[in-house]
Structures are given as C-alpha cells and as structure tokens.
Amino acid sequence: MFAMKSALTCCLLALVSAVTAQTCFDSTCGAVITPLYRTYSADNDDHFYTNDASELVFVPNTASTYTPQGVAAGVFATQQGASVPLFRMFSVNPWDHFYTTDEQEVEEFGLIGYNLEGIAAYVYGDQICGSVPLFRLVHGVNVSGPGFGSDHFYTRLERQVALATGYTDQGIAAYVPIPGVVDGNALCETVPEN
C-alpha cells in the first residue's frame, strides 16, 4: 500500500512540475489587444474579419453589404513577441474570405484563385500562456478539394453552434490572446528545471 501511495505521489509531483515548468513573464512592451471584428454578407454567404474599424463600413474589393456581428477574437494590430501574421485572402469564385497563418496554405489557395490581401492581424501559431484556440470551420465545400469552401468561419466560442448548422470543422487556425490587455505580451517562457 505504501509503495502504491509513493508511486501515486511521484506521478502527481511529476505532473505538477510539468505544469510549473512554464511560467508567464512580463516585459515592458505593454501590447494592447485589439478586436478582430466579424461581419457577414447574406448575399454572398461570406464572413469577413478585420481589426480595422473603417473596413466595417466598406469591405475592400466588394460591392456587397456586410452586417457587423461583433468581435470574433482579440488580436494584435502589430507583431508582438511570438506572434505571427494572420494572412487574409479573398476569392470571387467562390466568394470567400480566407485567413491562415500557414504560408503553404497561402500558396495553395493562391493556385485556385484566392488573392492575398495582406496581413489581417497578428496571432499566435502555437498555444502560449494567456491564449485560447481560434477555430476554423467551412460551409459549402466545393469541388476544388478538401478545405476549400464558400464560407470560412472563425470563432473562439461558437464552434459547436457552427457545427450544428452545417459547418465542417477544420481545426485550430491560430491561438489568440484572452480578451483584455496583455501586459508586456504575457509570453510563455520555458523555465529550466533544477
């Protein structure tokens, strides 16, 4: 019995040390999280995301009306610490805005007619302290191949609702900071174990 308790205690200590081996630190940057706004065009079955409030009124390269749907996530307007670009692409056929951190996907989508519009925001490519997943889903998959669809949808919280309404899960697109202000990036640093 004592041996079993000792083994259990060792396992628990190993788990606790694995968790405490990562710690968040603060630098002096004081990066501010900006909202990634979500809008929707019913005419084109397309979600559009931007951290630029002026684009809520006029969506670039479109003549469609988009209705604001609130904030999809918090992002960085400029590169902060370990953040990476979230690329924005647009296609007329199918009418779709697509966002990715993966340069290979930028190439693949470019080959089927999507145009790179630039960097929508900065996000994390890997999960770090103070970040949560931003899920990517697609609705209306077309014949161009897996992953290509007529509407890409990105969310932190509404994944289950989107799945229930016919969207297909494409996994985690990126990681985004938890809403609020990140004091000095709140990046994770792996602390060497002693």
Looking at the predicted structure, is the pLDDT value of residue 154 above 60?
yes
- Provide the β-strand partners of residue 92: 95
- Confirm whether 18 is domain-assigned: no
Q: Find the domain containing 176 and state its range.
A: 24-190
Looking at the predicted structure, is the pLDDT value of residue 75 above 80?
yes
Average of pLDDT values for 118-122?
97
First to last CA, the chain: 30
d(CA 17, CA 22): 9
- Confirm whether 5 is domain-assigned: no
- Confirm whether 11 is domain-assigned: no
- Confirm whether 44 is domain-assigned: yes
Q: What contacts 180, CB < 8 A, 6 or more positions away?
A: 33, 74
Residue type at 137 in one-letter notation: L
- Confirm whether 12 is domain-assigned: no
Look at the chain and report how many structural domains it folds into.
1
- Provide the β-strand partners of residue 168: 138
Report pLDDT for 53: 85
Least confident of 9-18, 69-78, 122-131: 9-18
Report pLDDT for 44: 83
Looking at the predicted structure, is the pLDDT value of residue 109 above 90?
yes
Report pLDDT for 103: 97
- Confirm whether 7 is domain-assigned: no
- Confirm whether 6 is domain-assigned: no
- Confirm whether 148 is domain-assigned: yes
Per-residue pLDDT tens over the stretch 161-192: 888 888 899 999 999 998 754 544 444 333 33
Report pLDDT for 119: 97
Per-residue pLDDT tens over the stretch 41-66: 888 888 999 998 888 766 666 666 88
